[in-house]
Structure 1
């Protein structure tokens, strides 16, 4: 019999939760838990760099930096108190530009919200926009309005790309609305010299992926690259189709614009799922379509989120955790009553909350959990050992574990990360160029095909509500550029020995000048006359704050030596190496793994790991759960969406564990959902399901499985393929054999 407990809000003691990290994963977890009555404190060691500038009254900004990698970056000329906040003059600039009167905002990369980011869209609708109200009698001067952050999203309807030797192309981010528009797109494709046969075969491979079950995608397609899938490489390694040289080059390059997918080494399942979602949602013509925010991310999103979380009772403390200390062994105590993990902070203080959500990056999570591993903790904790610090295999990503080197590396050291293209961590960062005249290359995203450093950009300021002003901000326009490749040598910039320099070998000025040269060359197809190109030149630039140079103070000078934000790339066959349990869909419409009863009992009793019987994320020592893009998610791709989804899985695990503890350890539910029925066997295509799945501790966080949102017309073959895959048979399109014994 299942025993239930009252909801947290009705208990005298609300469980306390410490959230480590104020990135999107940490803030999402804090939001969801606070709404369910938990007492939440967020710990973050970074300060909001806007504090102390003297441009706003004390208390205007949050006490800590919110948003992690997604946060806006505020830069001033020179350094402030040794902090890495530098706005640098662009090398070779015209004249002597006047410095800005205030810190200027920049964005790492696109801050792009595709239509399939349904976790983020759902979150946006639940964060009110706050407005300053000069009310001394009120408890706060900020008041919520009827608007939400969703109202701060602006559509992006175009995307562009450069092609060597040809004019730049612009494509719509929506499907053609007429035959004339359709033929216009075909005309642009034909201008690239792409044979129709190439396009037809490429589309046939996409259709083949759509009728392949998630089960087979995980067992087979995740172990091949997207390039191998698109050429139809068989189990002997022979491609079924050979593309023309131009199409083949585009096929090998274009995925780099999607957060640096590597078509040669990237896991085909993750790459193609993301590509299909970007394509399939092009028919939306409402505010759910692709968009960006109408201002710097911190101002248009995180400042409002902070005020809302404070209104929900969440506390923010600037502090850095040093380690998670294991509880004493208690073999005679029932598992649900055993002691919990203690947090030790860098100032020596200790705290033992009811729950701890570790929402930091993978390297930090690995170091924080060292003491837990030494004590024999399993699950996610054990899986983190070497996840960020192990040297990648020298031969290929599928090299046998026994033959891999045992050496370790510093994942924050630029010269130790990404030395082989199948390293799961790469240095992917950005640079912002500021102009003293209006400059909008494209009202959308731009990809520079052929640029050695894998460049893409957006002029975001054109969509901002409060545009920059020259007299106040020292600039009128800003171009945000993603640098996806820090390891390929430039064909133009060379060292003293005549060897091409990689981005990791360069100083800030060299990076700025070379990135701008590659952009101008790609746009003008003229590598010789970059200085005379018909484009305005930047007056200032700022490198991403995560980059550090070899000489201080602040961000420093000299070549790049440190990157605080190593980027996790989905590599062939690497999904199974991600720490922790598989994601779980509360609607139980997704494939997931569950432990056997024997493994469940062993993990619980000897390894300190608890997991709900239906699967999902793990809880360690009755208290610790992990969240972040490095965990397993249905989104799979390292992104804001994956961070938000992962936090929801972590909160759902806490809700299930809370019920288990409150039931005296008797709750071992295999099934947790009410018997709702959905027509067609899949969920609605809107922001969220109309049905929220409840637990005695409050509703589960709703989770969107992106592969469930592919066209319903393909589901019949996908379901049939699942039966074939379970019986180790080829895809039904590859054989006329009927599975022996019928459906499982």
Structure 2
């Protein structure tokens, strides 16, 4: 079908989610002076998730004329999802989620943006809607559970021996792991933390986490907690696939920084309300106030002329095909969508994009259980260590101080147990099938059974009669004929060796194309909203360079590295170049 060529106009504005008038008013009062877009400053952003909204935000503040195209819903995987038909007597509908939100203290790009999103009554904008979770629970089936305080812990350390003893002691005390296993893991973390960049990217990225920690030769507790659970919690990946570079980076932040040096806030944070209310809707209102336009449309291809992207082929909400022109194009699409756009012509100009075809995606998706009673499971996140589907959860009402759950739905819901399913490939305990082969009703029953198996072994914490209803992420669709689910929102998995397959945000090969997805090489190196934000900022900085803009560049942050270990990292540069092992890398 021939498309109609068009330029971006304000008449194509997406009539999507709009924040309340009070929020828009607050945004207007804090609006900075923005320059009128000059010729050559039109930007099309493809994708309205965290990466796309971040890119639009940074560009609009710098005077660019920005239009965002989003095929489904603004906020992407981070959005809330209204549960249809649940509102009663003037109350809004219950909120579902793709998965519960988690804002670790070492996140810096997302918090920096949140401080620039006005929110009525908040001095620091949306950032003030973050609240700390004081503890985490590791729940075992037919075994005592472990509750770990999430505040600052441990003591300062100054030497590698101090590091091993401090981290090892913290692990053995909090997990009931043997001192031998705990000290061994602490030493593996020390090896990574004292490795130079060349070793991290050249050696450890190619090694699966299970192999790196020698899980096959350790205790069952070690394998379950520090190999299997750690990887599924962080990247929804199996420990025999996950890159040591990625998991090691996260270990360096969570375990190698007990005093939370340089953190933006508490180690474990979440929002004080539904994500759309507490973050996404105010963000969209802010961007509208800055002049950003939102269009409902799905990108179907990119046109190339004279070494540049000349237009994007868009199918709008009515099904009509259009050719959208702009000076610059930012692709803020997920891995599996973006790589469908790389035609032979584009790959000839940007051969580094070819590796994306080998990147692995998997599923990590949420289901919410709405409860008639307040749950008393943990004052924070819960990991169900022995669950076949690698479940984690958070009881939300204890943190939703803005609007308690009784203010939604029919008024009888008093809590929401929001659960992430990280393993969709392992057979469950109830039906003996993986989640990918279970109907939505079977998924809800299976997850509920796995939760009860962990939580009801000593005291009954979950009762069937307290369950009001449940909601499965709408990205999961069931094909009854094929007896299989499809997932519209898979997650990039950083498998061993995947760093070399991931592209940078921009090269001279395609001058006006910039990549802002979480598959782009970033410092945080994890498919998260923080990675998406960092990638978007990197894309915007490259766009500013190409356009010749003198606007301030976006702030970019680095992950924490202990200064006490820097001399050993410097020493490791020479050892790695000479083919020697890390100084602390004893045989497994």
Distance 1:719 1:213, change over 3 A: same
Say if 2:283 is the partner of 1:345: no
Say if 2:446 is the partner of 1:514: yes
Distance 1:617 1:536, change over 3 A: farther
Contact in 2 for aligned 1:32/1:701 (Cα 8 Å):
yes
Q: 1:569 aligns with which of 475, 488, 493?
A: 493
Deviation at 1:560, TM superposition (A): 4.2
Contact in 1 for aligned 2:425/2:434 (Cα 8 Å):
yes
Say if 2:51 is the partner of 1:15: no
Say if 2:259 is the partner of 1:321: no
Contact in 2 for aligned 1:226/1:264 (Cα 8 Å):
yes
User: Which protein has greater RCO, CA pairs closer than 8 Å, 6+ apart?
Assistant: 2
Distance 1:732 1:279 in 2: 20
Q: 1:540 aligns with which of 469, 472, 479?
A: 469
Alignment of 1:410-559 (within 5 A): 424-464=360-400, 465-469=402-406, 472-493=410-431, 500-525=432-457, 537-550=466-479, 559=483
1:219-238: CA deviations, max 9, x gaps?
Answer: 11111122222229xxxxxx
Distance 1:559 1:288 in 2: 45
Q: 1:154 aligns with which of 131, 134, 146?
A: 131
1:538-575: CA deviations, max 9, x gaps?
Answer: 22101012101126xxxxx9954210011111111122
Deviation at 1:111, TM superposition (A): 0.5
Distance 2:563 2:376 in 1: 39
1:676-723: CA deviations, max 9, x gaps?
Answer: xxxxxxxxxxxxxxxxxxxx52222121221xx211001111012123
Alignment of 1:158-557 (within 5 A): 158-176=135-153, 189=172, 194-231=177-214, 242-255=217-230, 256-284=232-260, 288-289=265-266, 290-327=268-305, 329=306, 340-346=309-315, 347-370=320-343, 372-373=345-346, 376-384=348-356, 386-387=357-358, 424-464=360-400, 465-469=402-406, 472-493=410-431, 500-525=432-457, 537-550=466-479
Deviation at 1:99, TM superposition (A): 10
Deviation at 1:488, TM superposition (A): 0.5
Contact in 2 for aligned 1:341/1:624 (Cα 8 Å):
no
Partner of 2:10: none
Contact in 1 for aligned 2:303/2:309 (Cα 8 Å):
no
Distance 2:139 2:288 in 1: 46
Deviation at 1:101, TM superposition (A): 5.3
Contact in 1 for aligned 2:153/2:258 (Cα 8 Å):
no
Deviation at 1:348, TM superposition (A): 2.2
Q: SS at 2:520's partner residue?
A: coil
Say if 2:567 is the partner of 1:723: no
Q: SS at 1:716's partner residue?
A: helix
Partner of 2:58: 32
Q: 1:630 aligns with which of 519, 533, 550?
A: 519
Distance 1:353 1:196, change over 3 A: same
Q: 1:124 aligns with which of 114, 122, 128?
A: 114
Distance 2:117 2:174 in 1: 45
Query: TM-score of the superposition, structure 2-length normalised?
Result: 0.84
Contact in 1 for aligned 2:302/2:341 (Cα 8 Å):
yes
Between structure 1 and structure 2, the one with the greater Rg is 1
Distance 1:379 1:10 in 2: 36
Distance 1:193 1:111 in 2: 28
Contact in 2 for aligned 1:213/1:721 (Cα 8 Å):
yes
Distance 1:99 1:549, change over 3 A: farther
Distance 1:358 1:167 in 2: 48
Distance 1:228 1:509 in 2: 37
Distance 2:373 2:39 in 1: 58
Gaps of 5+ in 2: 1-33, 157-164
Contact in 1 for aligned 2:40/2:327 (Cα 8 Å):
no
Distance 2:171 2:258 in 1: 18
1:194-218: CA deviations, max 9, x gaps?
Answer: 3211111111111121111121011
Distance 2:246 2:154 in 1: 29
Contact in 2 for aligned 1:486/1:502 (Cα 8 Å):
yes
Distance 1:318 1:262, change over 3 A: same
Aligned CA-pair RMSD:
3.1
Distance 1:703 1:171, change over 3 A: same
Alignment of 1:562-641 (within 5 A): 562-578=486-502, 580-581=503-504, 617-618=506-507, 621-641=510-530
Contact in 2 for aligned 1:14/1:39 (Cα 8 Å):
no
Distance 1:383 1:570 in 2: 13
Contact in 2 for aligned 1:212/1:721 (Cα 8 Å):
yes
Distance 1:287 1:272, change over 3 A: closer
Alignment of 1:603-682 (within 5 A): 617-618=506-507, 621-659=510-548
